[in-house]
A and B are shown apart, each in its own frame.
Chain A
Amino acid sequence: EVQLVESGGGLAKPGGSLRLSCAASGFTFSDYSMNWVRQAPGKGLEWVSSITRSSTYIYYADSVEGRFTVSRDNAKNSLYLQMNSLRAEDTAVYYCARSPGGLYYFDYWGQGTLVTVSS
């Protein structure tokens, strides 16, 4: 069974940092591109970042470019999102999601982890 379990969310102050993790199981992690998607309270889904299987290609939304860094450790079946210079508008539930066969769609999602940025 495919499982994606996010962790690392919590309360951070504006300008602060958090590191999210996503532990994957039930599939060959290194065969899939991985992604972060977020949903702010009362808002729609927003793509944050994607990383291909061997980390060859990495993409970011304009809203997080230069502040967030995505990475993966295929030996540990884990995906990460380092979030720096956090802003109030980064408050959201952050989901990790898997992409099969290239970056076209997200077929499995984790349960999400809540990030709150507030003073």
Chain B
Amino acid sequence: SYELTQPPSVSVSSGQTASITCSGDELGDKYACWYQKKPGQSPVLVIYQDSKRPSGIPERFSGSNSGNTATLTISGTQAMDEADYFCQAWDSSTAVFGTGTKVTVL
């Protein structure tokens, strides 16, 4: 079965840039998206179709996808960005979520 692998944790100083990777076989040939998940809240879509931002998502969130790796970048990270982040893609009529990355803002 298809797998998407993320680093378990990323730490970033407030105001700096955080990059979260998502690795999967030929992921660049699929559309990747990203969700933010805070404890006790529902997931929020922050990037879809590799690099598009939904309405209401701040410009500091950006995405890219090439080769075997999709990347979510948070520029000028704020305390409110502290959360778990999950990538997601479709493979053979199956939605696959990444393992998740906990972002800590120092």
| Residues from 13 to 39 in A contacting B, C-beta threshold 8 Å | 35, 37, 39
Chain A: interface size category: 20 to 34
Contact at A111–B42, with CB atoms within 8 Å? yes
Does B48 lie within 8 Å of A105, measured CB to CB?
yes
Nearest chain B residue, comparing its CB with the CB of A102: B90
- Are B96 and A47 in contact, CB atoms less than 8 angstroms apart? yes
- Total interface residues on B, using CB and 8 Å? 24
Which residues of chain B are within 8 angstroms of A50 by Cβ–Cβ distance?
95
**B94's contact among A37, A59, A104, by CB below 8 Å, is which?**
A59
| Nearest CB in chain B to that of A45: its residue | B97
Q: Does A95 contact B (CB under 8 A)?
A: yes
Please tell me if the beta carbons of A105 and B88 are within 8 angstroms of each other in the complex. Answer: yes
User: Is B35 located at the chain interface by the 8 A CB criterion?
Assistant: yes
Please indicate the chain A residues that have their CB under 8 angstroms from the CB of B100 in the complex: 44-45
Q: Are A105 and B86 in contact (CB under 8 A)?
A: no
B45 and A107 within 8 A (CB): yes
Nearest CB in chain A to that of B43: its residue: A109
Q: Which residues of A contact B95 (CB under 8 A)?
A: 35, 37, 47, 50, 103
Complex alpha-carbon distance, A80 and B90, angstroms = 22
A18 to chain B, nearest CB (A): 20
Contact with A along B43-78 (1 / 0, CB 8 A): 111001100001000000000000000000000000
Contact of B45 (CB < 8 Å), options: A59, A61, A105, A111:
A105
Residue on A nearest B45 in the bound complex, by CB = A107
Evaluate contact between A59 and B33: CB separation under 8 angstroms. no
Distance, CA A104 to CA B96, complexed state (A): 11
Taking CB atoms, residues of chain A closer than 8 Å to B99 are 44
Q: Which of A59, A107, A109, A112 touches B48 (beta carbons < 8 Å)?
A: A107
Mark interface residues in A53-94 (1 if CB within 8 Å of B CB, else 0): 000010101100000000000000000000000000000000
Among A46, A59, A103, A111, contact of B97 (Cβ-Cβ < 8 Å)? A46
Residue of A nearest to B100 (CB): A44
